[in-house]
C-alpha cells in the first residue's frame, strides 16, 4: 500500500513539474510573439 502511495506522489510531483515547465514555456512564447508583433508593426506599419 505504501508503495502505491509513494508512486502516486512521485507521479503528481512530475506532473506539477511538467505543468510548471509548460506554463513557463507558454509565457516565454507569449512574450516572444508580442515582441514580434510590435517589431512587425514598426517595420511594416
- Is the confidence at residue 16, as pLDDT, over 70? yes
pTM above 0.75, yes or no: no
Per-residue confidence band for 45, with pLDDT thresholds at 50, 70 and 90: low
The three three-digit cell numbers of residue 1, written as one number: 500500500
10 Å CB burial of residue 20 (0-12, 13-18, 19+) is: exposed
Helix (H, G, I), strand (E, B) or coil at 1: coil
Amino acid at each position: 500500500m505504501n508503495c502505491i502511495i509513494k508512486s502516486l506522489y512521485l507521479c503528481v510531483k512530475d506532473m506539477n513539474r511538467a505543468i510548471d515547465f509548460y506554463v513557463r514555456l507558454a509565457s516565454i512564447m507569449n512574450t516572444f510573439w508580442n515582441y514580434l508583433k510590435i517589431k512587425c508593426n514598426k517595420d511594416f506599419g
